[in-house]
């Protein structure tokens, strides 16, 4: 009689996908809370924004240390930062 393994490739893939979904849910939820606090209460929720940014930094640092980042990842990251900076500047300009 053979027993099935407790953890196989499929189990790891499903676990990793669940962690990815949870990370996205928390990150976008925190961003929504930052936007809500900013627009409705006029608060600067830097503590919540720092959690989002530091979460991305931790994931990127881990991937960098294991040498899995590519040139395409770098270009996408830079493009995202530029787009975010432009949107932030437009929002500041519109609120003034």
Domain of residue 93 covers 69-96
**Is the domain of 4 the same as that of 48?**
yes
Give per-residue pLDDT as tens, 17-64. 999 999 999 989 998 998 899 889 988 888 888 888 898 889 888 988
Kindly state whether residues 1 and 38 are assigned to the same domain: yes
In this structure, are 61 and 78 located in the same domain?
no
Same domain assignment for residues 8 and 47: yes
Burial 35-72 (b: 16+ CB within 10 A, else e): eeeeeeeeeebeebbebbeeeeeeeeeeeeeeeeeeee
For residues 52 and 78, membership in a common domain is answered with: no
The predicted model gives 54-76 an average pLDDT of 88
The torsion angles phi and psi of 29, rounded to 5 degrees, stand at -65, -45
pTM summary value: 0.65
Instruction: Give the three-state DSSP class for 57.
Output: helix
Query: 38 and 73: one domain?
Result: no
pLDDT tops 70 at residue 13: yes
Same domain, 25 and 54: yes
How many separate domains does the chain show? 2
* pLDDT at residue 82 greater than cutoff 90: yes
């Amino acid at each position: 009689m053979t027993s099935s393994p407790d953890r196989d490739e499929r189990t790891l893939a499903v676990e990793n996908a669940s962690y990815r979904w949870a990370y996205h849910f928390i990150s976008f939820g925190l961003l929504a809370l930052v936007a809500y606090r900013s627009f409705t209460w006029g608060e600067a929720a830097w503590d919540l924004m720092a959690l989002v940014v530091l979460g991305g930094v931790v994931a990127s640092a881990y991937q960098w240390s294991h040498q899995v980042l590519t040139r395409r990842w770098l270009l996408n990251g830079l493009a995202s930062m530029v787009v975010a900076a432009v949107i932030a500047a437009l929002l500041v300009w519109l609120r003034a």
